[in-house]
Structure 1
Amino acid sequence: MFQALQQHLSGEFTLPLDIDSAYPLFTPAGETLWVPDWQPQYFHPADGHTSAGMVFSTGHGGESTLWTLADYDPVAYRYRYVRVTPGSRFVQVQVSCQPVDAANTRVCVSYTLTGLSEDGNAAIRDFAAGYQAMLAEWRSLILAWREQSRHGQ
């Protein structure tokens, strides 16, 4: 009998960006700036405008994932996405940004993952093993994008 694995992961990193520059990087459109191969397909709204309840899909590694922006609080600099990879896993992703000072932002990221199959449980174990490295990569990708945009490339 299948038993769903559920795992909660969290971590943080600091970016040398003011909060109003850092926060938009974690919208679906913002992530297209720094995430390789991130190409969301927007269902609602069709133009991809960031809003609570927006629905979009992404594809990666032969999988298709459906997303919604469940909570959107720009005043508190917080997002909560809910996503499902059918037949594999259900995931809640929360990203919140907090100013460290006028020029630096702490980004806190948490994932709660629930397996929907044995393959999903295995994907969760793999994801958990690389979670801290993923956050370090996010920071590196954002810094590389920032450097490129400074030099007009």
Structure 2
Amino acid sequence: MFQALQQHLSGEFTLPLDIDTVYPLFTPAGETLWVPDWQPQYFHPADGHTSAGMVFSTGHGGETTLWTLADYDPASYRYRYVRVTPGSRFVQVAVQCQALDAANTRVCVSYTLTGLSEAGNAAIREFAAGYDAMLTEWRSLILAWRDKAC
């Protein structure tokens, strides 16, 4: 009998950028600036405008993942996405940006993952093993984008 694995992961990193530059980088459109091969397909709104309830999909590694922006709070610099990779896993992703000062921002990222199959459980274990490295890579990719933009 299948037993779903659920795992909660969290971590943070600091960027030498102001919060108003960092925060938009975690929208679907913003991620296209720094995430290689990130190509969201927008369902609603069709133009990809960031808004609570927006729905889009992404493809990676032969899988399609459906996303919605469940919570969007620009005043508090927070996002919460809910995504499902059918037949594999259900994931909640929360991003919170905090200004440390005028030129530095802390980014806190948490994932709550639930397996929908044995393959999904295996994917969660693999993801968890690389979580800290993923956040380190995110920071590096954003800094590389910053350096190209200057």
The answer to whether the superposition gives a TM-score over 0.5 is: yes
TM-score by length of 1: 0.98
Unaligned runs of 5+ in 1: none
Sequence identity percentage: 89
Q: Corresponding residue for 1:87?
A: 87
Stretches of 4+ moved more than 6 A in 1?
A: none
Q: State the Cα distance separating 1:137 from its structure 2 match.
A: 0.1
Q: Write out per-residue CA displacement over residues 49-102 of structure 1, whole angstroms, 9 at most, x where no aligned residue.
A: 000000000000000000000000000000000000000000000000000100
Q: Which amino acid aligns with 2:139?
A: R
SS in 2 for 1:141: helix
Q: Distance in 2 between matches of 1:143 and 1:62?
A: 28
Amino acid at match of 1:91: V
TM-score, with normalisation over the residues of structure 2?
1.00
Q: How many Å separate the matches in 2 of 1:146 and 1:64?
A: 29
Q: CA deviation at 1:147?
A: 0.2
CA RMSD of aligned residues (A): 0.2
For the pair 1:120 / 2:120, whether they are aligned, the reply is yes
One-letter amino acid of the counterpart of residue 35, structure 1: V
CA distance in 2, matches of 1:147, 1:17: 11
Cα distance in structure 2, aligned partners of 1:72 and 1:145: 24
Q: Where does the alignment leave 5 or more consecutive residues of structure 2 unmatched? A: none
**Structure 2 Cα separation of the partners of residues 16 and 33 of structure 1:** 17
Q: Distance in 2 between matches of 1:113 and 1:127?
A: 10
Q: Structure 2: which amino acid aligns with 1:42?
A: Y
In the alignment, the residues of structure 1 paired with residue 94 and residue 5 of structure 2 have an alpha-carbon distance, to the nearest angstrom, of: 19
Secondary structure at 1:2 match in 2:
coil
Partner Cα distance (1:120, 1:38) in 2: 21
Distance 1:113 1:59 in 2: 18
Residues 23-59 of structure 1 deviation map (CA, whole Å, 9 limit, x = unaligned): 0000000000000000000000000000000000000
Q: How does 1:14-93 map to 2 (within 5 A)?
A: 14-93=14-93
Aligned residues: 150
